[in-house]
Copies of this chain bind each other. A is one copy, B any other.
């Protein structure tokens, strides 16, 4: 069986959200699965010296136009969140806590989080909100809430960030196919061609 595609993203990244709505289906067309890796761009920015989009002069203003337009272009539901960006420590930890138990459920949780934040404007940095999602996925709410503070989960997220940086990840989404890196939701056509032709 061919190796999974690696999909790195931050829960506060709109372009990561766009890719999350396409990547599994795209991979499946070529018999591939996707491993989802939430990371914290804050950790990455310490290495690159970059900053969240809204803080970047000129580029920040442009992004506020490009993001909703790109959503319309792709036909993906999108509503600009009232607070952007947000701290994504909690959804990322929630993901890794869940993944220890059930990888499919973790992926479902990630999708619920992304859609809640970018299509419904729900603040997914709030652990209470995340516990409601966990509940709706049939999980024990209290165990989930406790899991967000779990030392092993914190360590998993720390390692995910470190491994991402070691692999050259500097933004979100970042997709690695058989060692080939692709940055941005606008690279999905190249990802598809790579899968189809085994490189080009």
A187 to B58, CA, bound (A): 17
Q: In chain A between 159 and 200, which residues have their CB closer than 8 angstroms to a CB of chain B?
A: 165, 168-171, 180-184, 186-187, 189-190, 193, 200
A46 to chain B, nearest CB (A): 10
Task: Kindly state the interface size class of chain A when it binds its partner.
Answer: 20 to 34
Please name all residues of chain B whose beta carbon is closer than 8 Å to the beta carbon of A200 when the two chains form the complex: 69, 72-73
A148 to chain B, nearest CB (A): 29
Q: Is the CB of B70 within 8 A of A190?
A: yes
A29 is an interface residue with CB less than 8 A from chain B: no
A180 to B68, CA, bound (A): 13
A172 to chain B, nearest CB (A): 13
The contact sample of 13 A-B pairs, CB cut-off 8 A, is A48-B58, A48-B59, A62-B168, A62-B170, A65-B181, A66-B182, A66-B187, A69-B190, A69-B200, A72-B200, A73-B189, A73-B200, A186-B187
